[in-house]
Structure 1
Amino acid sequence: MARVAIVGGAGYIGGELLRLLLGHPEAEVAAVTSTRLAGRRVDGAHPNLRGLTDLTFVDPGSLEEYDALFLATPHTETMGRMTGYAKIATTIFDLSADFRLRDPEVFRRYYGLPHEAVDLLPEFVLGLPELHRDRLRAADRVAVPGCMATAGILALRPAAAAGLIEPEVTIDARTGSSGSGATAGPENLHAERSGAMRVFAPTRHRHEAEIGQETGLSVRMSATGVEAVRGVQVLCRARLAPGADERAVRAAYRAAYAAEPFVRVVAQKRGLYRLPEPKILSGSNFCDVGFAADGERALVLVAALDNLVKGGAGNAVQCMNVRYGWPERAGLTFAGLHPN
C-alpha cells in the first residue's frame, strides 16, 4: 500500500484525485493540503465525498514523507518549489504545466516568463502512458499533460507517426467551465458563461506547444469555452499525405490503440454517437478518438475526454499504476454515464 499526498487538494483536479485515490486498492491518502482551508474537512469542498473520508485539509508546510506526491498546483508556481517537494516523496506526479515542455525557450514563449528549474527538466517524463509507458515504469518525476493537449496528442499521433498526414495541422478545441478551475474569475460566473460559446484563445493556445512536441507536427490551435461543466473535444484538421486514404487511417488507429485500456476508436458511419462525444465520458478515464475524410485529402481527427479525469487526475493515477506495476485500470474502472 502506497502512502500518497495531494498538494492543492481544494480545487477540481484535487477533488478528482481524492475521489479516485480514496477508491484505489493500492493507495492510502495520507494528507491533502490547502492553505486556505487548512483544518477543515475535505468533504466541505468536495461534497460528493461525504461519508467516504474523515480527512481534513492540512497546511502544505506540515507535509511529512510519502511514497508519492500529486501536485495539483498553479502553473508557473510549481517549478520554484520542486526541490522541496522532492525531499518528501520518492515519486512526484505534477499536474501543473511547469515540466511538460522540454525546451525552456518554448516554455518562456507560451507562459511569459523564464523557467526557474531548467536543470530539473530532463528528470521529467511526460505522463501519457500511450506514448511513454516504458519510461514511466521507472520514472520518479512525471509531468501530466494538459487536458486539451492529451486529446490532441492522442488524436494526431498515430496518423503523424505513420506519415499519413501533412505536417501542418489546425486544432479547434472546446472545453467546459471546469477547465477554468474552482477559483475562476468573473468571466466564468453563470450569468456570463451560460449560453455563451466564448473563444478565449483565438490563436496560440498553450497546449499547442505540447501537441507539437509529442507529434512532431506544426500545430496552430484555438480554444472555445462551451456550455458544459466537464468535457473536452478537439477537431484536428489535416491533409492526407499523397497516397493515403481513410482506410489507411483506420488501420493505423486500430493498430495503435488495440491494446490500450483507455483509448477507444470511435468512427462510425451512422448513429447518435458516431464520433467522440465528451458527454458520455463524464467521470471516466477514457479518451475516444475518431476521424472522417472527404475523399479529397481533407481529414478531420476528433478526440473527446473528461478534462478532469483522462485530462488530469485520472491520467495521473494511470501513470501511478504504470510506475508501481499495478493493473493499469486500478481505481479507474468507472465507465461514464448515459444518459447524462
Structure 2
Amino acid sequence: MKIKVGIVGGAGYTAGELIRILLHHEHAELGAIVSSSNAGNLVYQVHDDLVGEIKLRFATELAGDEDVVFLCLGHGDSRAFLENNNLPATTHIIDLSNDFRLENDREFDGREFVYGLPELNRSSIQQAQSIANPGCFATAIQLALLPLAGAGRLTDDVHVSAITGSTGAGQSLSETVHFSWRTNNVSIYKPFTHQHLGEIGESLAQLQTQLDTAIHFIPYRGNFSRGIFASVYTPSDLTQDQARELYRNFYTDAPFTTVSEKEIHLKQVVNTNKCLLHVQKLGKQLLITSIIDNLVKGASGQAVQNMNLLFGLPETTGLHLKSVLL
C-alpha cells in the first residue's frame, strides 16, 4: 500500500523533518510539496540535508488526489488555507499548527479534528478523518503527567520548567533566533501564559475529570538548535517505587515513550521520535523529567505516527530513527 502524501508550507523546519522521514517510509509516496515563497525551486535547495535524496520541486498547489495532507503552516494559517481550498472529504488532514487543538476549535466545515497524542487517544486517532497534531511543549509536559491524571493522582498544583531549542521558534527571523543573540544565552518567554497550556489542561481533564490543579509553566529559550528538556514536579503521596510502577504500566503499549531508571539527558532523544521520562521522589515532591526532540516527537515524527495509525500501519513504521549522541 502506498499513501499519497501532500505537504503545505513545505519550506519550514517541520516540513523539512517531515520530508526527511517520509522519504524513507516504505508506505509513503511524496506528491506535491507546496510553498508559495519557493514555488518552482528544487526542494533540496531549501532543505539542503536532502541533497541527493529528492528531485521534486516546490509546487504552487496540491494535486487534489492526496490520501493525506500535512499542514505545516503558521498558527492561524491552517484554518485560512482550508477556508480557501476545498479538499476532498476523503483526504485526511494532519495539521501541525494550533488551529484545531482545543475542543472548541475541532469542528471545521464538516470535519472533526481529533487531538493527535497517540499515548492518550490511540483508538480515536485510528478512526479519525482529521488530526490536530499536539504542540511540542504540550507533548513533553503531557507525557510527564498523563499517568498521574489517569490514576486520579493530580491533587496539587504542578510546576513546570522547560527549555527548547531555537528551531522551536520556526524559520522566520526575529531578534531572539539570531545566532549572535542565542549563543551562550538563555531567556524566559511567555511565563505562565504559553499557548500550549490550554491543550495540556484539556488532555489531563480527559483522564481526571474532577481536575482542580493549576499548571505553572515557565518556558525557556535554549542556546541549542533542537530538543526539549522539561522538569515537572508536584506534591505526591506516592513512593518513588509506586510512581515508577504507575508510569511503566501506563506506557506499556507506547512504543516511543520509555521510563528510564537512570537520569536522562537531551542527546538521547535528538533526531528520534522518542520521549524519555525519569521519575523520582524528593521529599514530598514527585519530579518527572521529560525529554523529546521538538521537531520529531514534538512535531513531524508524531505527525507520521498519527498517519500510521490513520492508515492501519504499525505506528513505528518509518520512525526507527537513531539519536545523535556524539
TM-score by length of 1: 0.89
Task: State the SS of the aligned residue for 1:313.
Answer: helix
What amino acid is the match of 2:78? Answer: T
| 144-153 or 63-72, which deviates more | 63-72
Q: Which stretches in structure 2 are left out of the alignment for 5+ residues? A: 206-212
| CA gap 1:85/1:166 in 2 versus in 1, 3 angstroms | farther
CA contact (8 A) 2:4 2:68 kept: yes
Instruction: Please give the alpha-carbon distance, in whole angstroms, between the structure 1 residues aligned to 2:110 and 2:127.
Output: 16
Q: 1:209, 1:219 within 8 Å by CA — same for their partners in 2? A: no
The unaligned stretches of length 5 or more in structure 1 are 105-116, 269-273
Report the counterpart of residue 266 of structure 1 in structure 2.
260
Q: Give the AA of the match of 1:300.
A: L
User: Quick one: which amino acid aligns to residue 203 of structure 1?
Assistant: F
Provide the residue aligned with 1:290 in structure 2. 278
1:302 aligned to 2:289? yes
Deviations 1:129-156 (A, max 9, x none): 1111101111111000000100000010
2:199 counterpart SS class? helix
Q: What letter corresponds to residue 78 of structure 1 in structure 2?
A: S
Q: Is the 8 A contact 1:86 1:92 kept in 2?
A: no
CA contact (8 A) 1:321 1:330 kept: yes
Runs of 4+ more than 6 Å apart = none
Distance 1:33 1:237 in 2: 42
3-state SS of 1:51 partner: coil
Whole-Å separation in 1 of the counterparts to 2:246 and 2:107? 36
1:250 deviates by: 0.6
Pairing partner for 2:222 from 226, 230, 246: 226
Percent identical:
34
Contact in 1 for aligned 2:64/2:88 (Cα 8 Å) = no
Please tell me whether the aligned partners of residues 31 and 63 of structure 2 are also in contact (alpha carbons under 8 angstroms). Answer: no
> Shift of residue 118 of structure 1?
5.4
C-alpha contact 1:245 1:297 (8 A) present in aligned 2: no
Taking the TM superposition and a 5 Å limit, the aligned residue runs for 1:127-138 are 127-138=116-127
Q: Confirm or deny: 8 A CA contact 2:64 2:87 kept in the other structure.
A: no
Q: Aligned letter for 1:221?
A: F
1:171-210 correspondence to structure 2 within 5 Å: 171-210=160-199
Alignment of 1:33-44 (within 5 A): 33-44=34-45
CA distance in 2, matches of 1:153, 1:40: 39
How far 1:234 sits from its partner (Å)? 1.1
Return the alpha-carbon distance in structure 1 between the equivalents of residues 261 and 153 of structure 2.
Answer: 17
Number of residue-to-residue matches in the alignment: 317
Matched residue SS, 2:103: coil
Tell me whether 296-305 or 18-27 shows the greater mean CA deviation.
Answer: 296-305
Aligned pairs for 1:135-174 within 5 A: 135-174=124-163
CA distance in 2, matches of 1:95, 1:103: 17
RMSD, matched Cα: 1.7
1:324 maps to amino acid: F
Give 1:67's aligned residue. Answer: 67
User: 2:249 aligned with 1:255, yes or no?
Assistant: yes
Measured in 2, the distance between the counterparts of 1:10 and 1:286 equals 24
Could you tell me how far apart the structure 2 residues matched to 1:30 and 1:307 are?
Answer: 25
Deviations 1:151-188 (A, max 9, x none): 00001000121123324212111000011111131221
Q: Which residue of 2 aligns with 1:112?
A: none
Q: Distance in 2 between matches of 1:164 and 1:249?
A: 10
**TM-score, normalised to structure 2's length?**
0.93
* Deviation at residue 265 of structure 1 after TM alignment: 0.5
